[in-house]
Structure 1
Amino acid sequence: MEGWPSRLEKAVRGGVPTGSHLPNSPGPLAGCWGKTRPLCISPGRGLSPWTTVFVSFSHARRMCCVSIPLCSQIAHYLLWLLSTQEPRWELPALAFLVEVLEWLDLSERGANRVLQILSRQLQSECRERRRLALRALLKLTDDPSMTKTMQSLTESLVELLWDGEIVIMTVMLLNSIILDNDMLLPSPITLQLLEALLPLFDHDNSQVQLISILLFQTLVTHAEEKAKMALKTPLRKSLLPLFFHCHDENQRVVQASQKTLLCVAEFLKRRDLERLLKSKKLWKFAEFLLAEDRSRAAEQLRRALRYLQSPQEPLREAAVRFMGMAGRHLRGQQQELQLICTALERLMEDTSSAVSHLALETLHVLRAIQRQRYSAIQRLQDQLRRAWRTRPHLSGLGCLRCRMTEEES
């Protein structure tokens, strides 16, 4: 593993929290190698004590294929050192442990001990310790029995999704624990995880996007019956971002978004939306979202604005088209219309000619809507139209809903 000692030294030194210091001497760690096998390198050659340990450990790591008992003793010594909860040794010991993890005894007792230590590191204020704990846990997911044991860590992992520096490892680990085991989570954790996954749909890393969307779908599919009412709020919030990512450049993200969108519509018992999605009428689907509630149309507009700045041309183009649709549902709301117009003006110099032309055309339409007078009669007409479009969801129309269900079946 060429270059490994320098990476390890960087992990140890770079991860020390502000106000703390790496010990001047790596006493316990150096003693670990000395007790298991004589070292060939000594500080007398001009190396610092820590460099001696890094180089010596690299030497021991390369010998692992012929000296398994040595690595096993080292791993157990590191585990003991971490169990002492001596703060100044935790970071370097954890950094070393990650590299010899496969030589630990992972029987039931040993596995519980390892997870207890790593669970404590996940809650550390030191980001590097959290990162190393995640690396260790990801290595352990190669063992299916360990993945099942990790279910107890789910709540701690959900809290780490807000840390952008380690979100990739966190979402991958959650994916291994939940997705691969079809795990049923308690309702409060499911709700917390759904809320935390929503912003990741728009993450810069497409792998994080994809795993987050697939994990979201799994949680919806396996949600407890008693939790369904509480989950409706994050599920409604997911409709718009999932709709936009149906236009993503990454086809795997597109497919995951389409499947998850259909899954959410089924969960919400929106048969009208299900039909549109199954017939691939995505823009009719967007029209329904905007037509349901005028106050919600303004909310949808504000949440869609960020897609105008997407680095992906298809998403910007879809966002412009959505703005045009939203504008027609916001007649008389001058503040919201002006917000759209201002945003579209910035896109008139977009790097894509298709996006800039569409933005210009949409802007002309919305300016015309702004100039129109919005009378009380027109307002009433719009309200009646929206009521008609959403008639299966109005209270007091149970008979109509039943009749429609019979006709469809």
Structure 2
Amino acid sequence: MAGRRFSLIRLFRRKKEEESPGAAPAQQPEEVQQVQPPQEDAGQERTEEQLRARGRFRRAAQLVCRFIRCIWHEEATFMATGATANSDLFNAQTSAALLDLLVENGVYKAKQVSSLWPGLQSPRDAVVPATVRCIHQWLMSNVSDEHRLDNTLVLLTKAHPTDVAVTLLRSAPACDRAARTMWKTLISSRWTKEPVLQILFPVLEYWPAHRRRTSDGDERDVFALAATVALWEILQLSHSWCPGGVKDNFPRLLLTLLFQVFISTEEMSEEVETFWRRCQEQRSLPPNPNRFAVQTVKALLRQLLDEDVLMAIGRKCGWDMLLKADSHHYAVGLLARELCRVSRSFGRRIAVSLLPRLSRGEPLWELPALAFLVEVLHCLNPRQYGPSVLQIISRHLRSQCPERRRLALRGLVVLSRDPAMAKSMRSLSESLLELLQDADTDAVQMTLSAFINILRFQIVKISSPIALKLLEALRPLFDNIRLCAPHHGH
């Protein structure tokens, strides 16, 4: 590892040289397994190698055992007293060297590590989460040397990415200074950034919490907001570059964050409020989770868009409208229009990600999702995606919600401009006739536009009964036009 070797590691190597003259300097995992804690049973036989280890190595062996026990039990006074930085156990040099020693020599996967955790059923599985917590605690106590354990953390994460990421989310949900250092290390390494992001993304999507079991048997909920805080910190750390995993998953992340804004505005469970209150106690975070989610949306967009685009959305009150349940879908539509102006490919990628959600008929965020889809329809290839879109839109034509009907008609007007799609709309004639009697003038106007587009291509032949119904529906409209027209004396 980079940096100077500490006295403990020199002592460890000196012991090996004394026991095996001429041996290669490489460390062997089996030798680490020889480090045994003092046994409660005084009559237990000591091996010949343990007897030879007495002397200068005895103190180091006892220190390792005390250190590992402390990892597992996680003494409550560690963070409370703030005095551990100068203790024998957590001396900056000694404790960092011990962590290096444990991870570099594969103690977390050693077959005989059970002797270090008497009484545990599966102690080997408990080592990785415990080591992650210990690295976090060490960083909290050693501000000036925060990158000392970077290689150790990367090595551990390469072998166990889920354990490391989920344990970090549980241990530091508010993403304190030490956690920020750890996330930065993981995202900066080419070995760990993609696996860690792929673990983070599913946690973001489960609202309010996702149960992700770690190898130590921990099944506590991992809150989506904890992953949002981690993502926000990652985006802040990478202001000059965008991690490949973030860029590749931009549509998925944007839709997930917009849903978080909506759901945390619409309803807030007691467990989410309690969780967020704890986070606020640790850090200066916005009072409401929806405001923090909006901040994260902005941070994500800054990775791919100019600041001018965000300012344009702000001038049109888009960010404020996102925070209100009754105007959220308007803001989502505004955001979609701005994205399409910058890049049609952005709009197309997000629309493709939206289609499965809308096809499943998820009721909570269906109106905002429909608003986004309508704004980006012109970015899609109608021959490729038109049938799926038409199926979604037709479901909303008879909705009891006027806003959904209006959005569905807007989408229908766009689709009807394509000859192939106009032919597919023949089955919607009855629904469109009913909408001509709608009291909403805008809805009637869009319905007529769709009919005109369908007839213009002369592809769809309207049956005689439908034509008669269309004339009956249009007659009141012409009467209204005649009554409202200016009177010129003839």
- TM bracket (short chain): 0.3 to 0.5
Q: TM-score, normalised by structure 1?
A: 0.47
Higher helix share: 1
The structure number with the bigger radius of gyration is: 2
Q: TM-score, normalised by structure 2?
A: 0.41
